[in-house]
Structure 1
């Protein structure tokens, strides 16, 4: 049964995923993973609408892929904070910059993950609010809200010298 489903729906699934990702290799991998997940379902015969079920699996796999990419990207971008300081100033300026960056990192660690991601994407990588919204699959107003929250918490953290 699964082989028959594969022959009928693998091309439409691939085209659907390719339209969303623009990446032929990723789309192919996601189609294969979709059928592996379907094969793991013991009562596949009882699913009423198998095409919808397959497309739902594929879409969920794509969402999971995007989430993993976001985590990897923002983790790597957090590491970039370590190298963001200006080395053209004197030792006092460099030390002050390092202290400021450490305070920002400490403050970020106290924030919700989404707020951290928004701050890093907007302020470290330089993405626009619209790009960040599209990347994180949230609204532009949510990006603005999270960024304002992050900046407020960083400001409070720097003023008081402690975590809030």
Structure 2
């Protein structure tokens, strides 16, 4: 990722934490929750790896095509899983955004992507709009609805408000990564 190193490290911390929480969610007793958490964990850790500031670690040129292949496989897996749930379509878009960023870094000399004189490329602009809308919608879902949750203890992996906060954080991180391309 290019931009201020502090921003990059904050994104690494946010995405790695989100990925770690998604690993905890994979222990849920609900099968659909486990499946969604697995895809989100891959995205969280992959985004953390891609967000490492270029000043700290300048990866070799072969890394970007590997990222593209891994996230293309994740997109195909999410597309297959989308047959059973609409949330997996968001995973497809997220994985394709990662493929787009990886291919952009592959095509750029020395791995340094830039928009040039033409402005923001169309795919990047569409992804920015999608994730801006996703972040706004995810943030709105975190607002209290007025309903009080029932008593009893809920396992960390089964807390829907934490899953929503995790998704919001990853959406914000994706927006930041797309903006710094």
TM-score bucket of the superposed structures, by smaller chain: under 0.3
- Higher relative CO (Cα under 8 Å, sequence separation at least 6) belongs to 2
Larger radius of gyration: 1
Under a length normalisation based on structure 1, what TM-score does the superposition of the two structures give? Answer: 0.27
Under a length normalisation based on structure 2, what TM-score does the superposition of the two structures give? Answer: 0.25
1 or 2, which has the higher helix percentage?
1
